[in-house]
Structure 1
Amino acid sequence: MNELKTQLPTDTWVDCTWEEFIQATTQPEYAKAKCYYYNGQLRLEMSPVGTNHSLDNGLIVLLVNLFGIAKGIPLKLLINCSYRQPGIKEAQPDASYYVGERVTSAPTGSSVVNLEFNPPPDLVIEVADTSLTDDIGQKRLLYEDLAVGEYWVVDVNKAQVIAFKILSNGGSQRISESSVLPGLAITRLEEGLQRSRDTDNTTVAAWFLQAFSQ
């Protein structure tokens, strides 16, 4: 791949070396891109973020945070954090969490998280407006290989949460209740997303918190 500045496609997977991926991510024109690398391919996401994507992104982390508060579960939230296995793979999910006792091992600092020295997050969330096929396909395989605990895809168009438990022996399994946040039914999150279409986040949050404070 040559002339990365002028010829590099975005919002699609492109064959390249790790060195070319690193070069691309340091270019000023891609400073705001979300960056992924997997199986010898890069993906730079440059599509503008619409209102629905932004609203669902904010609401899903609000609901997870409220669940942690209601149940007394320690949480460490990282927004748009990059996780890297140098020379092999990289991901930059919309949101990620370290949960319970593992919050003490959550990375700190200003650098990309190096997974050779830091554990992967317990929960990874991608919010999909136009990227749903990729999020439940190639990215799911990427997060399986990164050995995160659980992977959720928020389908903005359907107000749906497609949740997967990452299996220790490889692969993933669709789940209806979170395994890293026991007692949190995926349908409850979906109801919150659906309610947000007709009301404000404060009202949705009050409903959600009441449901788990009883």
Structure 2
Amino acid sequence: MRTLTQWSVADYQHMRRTGILAHRRCELINGEIWDMVPEGEFHRFVNHRGVNYLRDTLQGEAEVFEAHPITLVESEPEPDIAVVRLPDTRYLQHHPYPEDIYWLVEVADTTLAYDLDTKRKLYAGAGILEYWVIDVAGKQMTVFRDIRNSDYSTQNIVSDGVICPVAFPGISIEIQSLVSIPE
């Protein structure tokens, strides 16, 4: 009988530090090391533009990380965008923990089903209050909120207008600034 080896966050971080995973683009998801899909041009463009927009909009309110790890109990994923508490010096000795995170954003061009299912469950289970998935092809965004029974109970699909993050109800985020792609 064969079994799957479950890796702890400490094991995974040790492999990273010692260079075992140096040439791998991967992340730890529920104790398993998953290869990440190579980043396409549209994904990079939407992600980078979204990070710049959020940094400008949230200046002085939050730190906006681009494709950097966060640390959960059994996982160390690398969300495309993490909006986290200030100051940035909080993260000198560790990646952001769930209590540091205001919300996460994944940009999905080839990973939509994975981001809407596996990542949604992972982030809700960790207690992250808000999660957005940008559907590059659909030019829309799914917004998950209101955690109940380790999952988000509210799911809204938006393609225009504004959204106010749960953590910053006085700040309006223009949805088109995140989902539109120039022709």
C-alpha distance in 2 between matches for 1:65 and 1:28: 29
Distance 1:191 1:81, change over 3 A: closer
Structure 1 vs Structure 2 CA RMSD: 3.1
> What corresponds to 1:197 in structure 2?
182
C-alpha distance in 2 between matches for 1:49 and 1:193: 17
Identity among equivalent pairs (%): 20
C-alpha distance in 1 between matches for 2:125 and 2:6: 18
Q: Secondary structure at the match of 2:101?
A: coil
Q: CA deviation at 1:151?
A: 0.7
Q: Secondary structure at the match of 2:39?
A: coil
Aligned residues: 169
Amino acid across the alignment from 1:107: R
Distance 1:29 1:66, change over 3 A: closer
Equivalent in 167, 174, 178 of residue 155 of structure 2: 174
> What corresponds to 1:5 in structure 2?
none
Amino acid across the alignment from 1:27: L
Q: CA deviation at 1:182?
A: 2.0
Equivalent in 35, 43, 54 of residue 44 of structure 1: 35
| TM-score normalised by the chain length of structure 1 | 0.65
> What corresponds to 1:61 in structure 2?
51
C-alpha distance in 2 between matches for 1:191 and 1:145: 29
Show the 5 A alignment for 1:1-214: 15-18=4-7, 22=12, 26-30=20-24, 33-38=25-30, 40-45=31-36, 47-69=37-59, 74-85=61-72, 88-98=74-84, 102-104=85-87, 107-109=90-92, 112-113=94-95, 115=97, 119-167=99-147, 170-172=150-152, 173-175=154-156, 177=163, 178-182=165-169, 188-190=174-176, 193-194=179-180, 196-198=181-183
**Any conservation in 2 of the 1:106–1:119 contact (CA below 8 Å)?**
no
C-alpha distance in 1 between matches for 2:75 and 2:130: 18
**Any conservation in 2 of the 1:153–1:161 contact (CA below 8 Å)?**
yes
**Any conservation in 2 of the 1:162–1:174 contact (CA below 8 Å)?**
yes
| TM-score normalised by the chain length of structure 2 | 0.75
Amino acid across the alignment from 2:70: Y
Amino acid across the alignment from 2:51: V
Q: Which runs of 5+ in 2 are unaligned?
A: none
